[in-house]
């Protein structure tokens, strides 16, 4: 997947990229999604042959889902793609033999992050009282969305509008979206993303127990046996050294100095062997690494309303497109991608 971006930057056309991918036998998005068990409402389904086409390549280059974006639409226009989201059915996470790199492009991701940081800085300290202040941006001009309120018959309706358009009506377009709807959608996206994260965590723990662990124990046992051989060898040397000394072949000083060096080697090897034994025991007992960052998602996905703190910790950006479509980018995506990689390696081992 990284190659697609690389080739594009090198100036290869989308058609050219599609041809290269087909030649190299790379899984197309449809097959990839089937592979990772990701169900995703997408027009990719139209192309049931699952072969790379230039239009598919172009979508990848422009679709932020490939750098860790969850999409969440709202029902504004009946003919619009109404809801788009990613979710990962638990039972589908382990079953893969064909290894395939996860789709990550951190440089693109970082670029977006940089833009978002600028935005956050642009927000005046007093203005950041609303949950999405500093992270909500216009999908077309990239400028900050600003919060305004309409009052109809005494009822206040807060909404977001493209700040640049508001300043100059000839620039961009309104991108008008209800603040409440928007916050609700972000919260929903957060719940979906959290359940995906938790599913991967669960699947990984499972994969580790059945495959990774067996493999790990096998490797550690081999190392332990090698260490034990080493210890035996040093003991033999030390014994023959003593015999040579007793038979008068070597002097006492030499004997003592050689013996001291073997003693050290044996002690070191015994320490290493003990450590390996402990590691094997731990792995057999099923202790797995805990991922603290997952608890952040776990904690916040329970909240009923979208808090500023939740956004600050977990949301990198909310992009608003004309027509009410939203893209939500979550923080800690690299950690999530690492989990996916670990899962892939565990499953493929
Ligand atoms: Zn705009």
Q: Rounded to the nearest whole angstrom, what is the distance from the C-alpha of residue 314 to the centroid of ligand 1?
A: 24
Consecutive H or E run containing 244: helix 213-246
Average pLDDT, the chain: 71
| Ligand 1 center to 135 CA (angstroms) | 14
Check whether 134 has a pLDDT greater than 70.
yes
Greatest mean pLDDT among 15-29, 73-87, 192-206 lies in 192-206
CA 142 to ligand 1 center in whole angstroms = 6
Alpha-carbon dihedral sign for residues 86, 91, 94, 97: negative
Calculate how far, in angstroms, residue 105's C-alpha sits from the geometric centre of ligand 1: 25
- Look at residue 161 and give its three-state secondary structure: strand
User: Which strand ranges, in their side-by-side order, compose the sheet holding 155-162?
Assistant: 145-152, 155-162, 177-178
DSSP label at residue 331: S
For residue 320, how far is its CA from the centre of ligand 1 (angstroms)? 9
Tell me, in angstroms, the distance from the centre of ligand 1 to residue 174's CA.
7
Distance 178 CA to ligand 1 centre (A): 16
Q: What is the mean pLDDT of residues 71-98?
A: 34
How many whole angstroms from 43 Cα to the centroid of ligand 1?
26
Q: What whole-number percentage of the chain has pLDDT above 90?
A: 26
Distances (CA, A) of 261 to 122, 156, 227, 235, 257: 66, 83, 17, 12, 6
Q: If you average pLDDT over residues 36-57, what whole number do you get?
A: 48
Can you state the percent helix, strand and coil of the chain, rounding each to 5?
Answer: 60, 10, 30
Residue 79 is predicted with a pLDDT of: 33
**What distance in angstroms lies between residue 324's CA and the mean position of ligand 1's atoms?**
13
Mean pLDDT of the 98-120 span: 40
| Residues 342, 347: Cα–Cα separation, whole Å | 8
pLDDT for 251-279, tens place per residue?
A: 899 899 999 999 999 999 999 999 999 88
Place of tokens 């699947």: 203
Give 325 Cα–ligand 1 centroid separation in angstroms. Answer: 14
Distance from Cα 23 to the centre of ligand 1, integer Å: 40
Q: How far is the CA of 56 from the centre of ligand 1 (A)?
A: 27
- pTM of the prediction? 0.45
Residue 302 — very low, low, confident or very high, per pLDDT cuts 50/70/90?
confident
Residue with tokens 């305004």: 148
* The most confident of 38-52, 193-207, 228-242, by mean pLDDT: 228-242
How many A from CA of 268 to the centre of ligand 1? 66
Ligand 1 centroid to 322 CA: how many Å? 9
Report the 10 Å Cβ neighbour count for 249.
11
Q: Please check whether residue 4 is in contact with residue 14, taking contact to mean a CB–CB distance below 8 angstroms.
A: no
Phi, psi of 318 (to 5 degrees): -125, 115
Instruction: Locate 62 and state its tokens.
Output: 């422009």
Tokens read off for 41: 């409402």
Alpha carbon distance 312, 310 (integer Å): 5
């Amino acid at each position: 997947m990284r190659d697609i971006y690389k080739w594009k930057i090198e100036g290869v056309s989308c058609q050219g990229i599609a041809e290269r991918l087909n030649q190299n036998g790379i899984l197309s998005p449809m097959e990839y999604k089937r592979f990772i068990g990701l169900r995703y409402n997408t027009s990719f389904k139209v192309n049931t042959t699952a072969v790379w086409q230039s239009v598919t390549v172009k979508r990848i280059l422009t679709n932020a889902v490939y750098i860790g974006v969850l999409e969440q639409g709202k029902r504004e226009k009946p003919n619009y793609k109404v809801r788009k989201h990613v979710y990962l059915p638990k039972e589908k996470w382990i079953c893969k033999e064909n290894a395939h790199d996860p789709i990550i492009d951190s440089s693109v991701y970082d670029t977006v992050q940089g833009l978002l940081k600028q935005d956050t800085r642009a927000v005046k300290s007093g203005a950041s009282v609303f949950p999405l202040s500093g992270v909500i941006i216009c999908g077309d001009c990239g400028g900050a969305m600003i919060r305004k309120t309409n009052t109809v018959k005494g009822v206040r309706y807060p909404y977001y509008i493209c700040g640049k358009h508001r300043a100059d009506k000839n620039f961009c377009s309104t991108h008008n979206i209800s603040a409440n709807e928007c916050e609700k959608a972000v919260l929903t996206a957060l719940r979906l993303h959290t359940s995906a994260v938790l599913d991967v965590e669960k699947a990984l723990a499972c994969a580790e127990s059945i495959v990774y662990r067996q493999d790990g124990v096998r490797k550690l046992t081999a190392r332990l046996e090698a260490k034990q051989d080493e210890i035996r060898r040093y003991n033999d040397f030390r014994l023959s050294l003593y015999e040579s000394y007793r038979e008068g072949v070597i002097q006492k000083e030499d004997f003592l100095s050689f013996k001291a060096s073997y003693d050290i080697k044996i002690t070191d090897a015994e320490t290493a062997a003990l450590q390996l034994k402990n590691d094997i025991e731990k792995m057999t007992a099923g202790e797995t690494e805990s991922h603290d960052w997952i608890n952040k998602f776990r904690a916040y996905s329970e909240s009923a309303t979208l808090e500023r703190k939740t956004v600050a910790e977990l949301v990198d950006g909310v992009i608003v497109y004309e027509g009410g479509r939203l893209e939500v980018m979550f923080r800690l995506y690299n950690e999530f991608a690492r989990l996916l990689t670990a899962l892939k390696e565990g499953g493929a081992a």
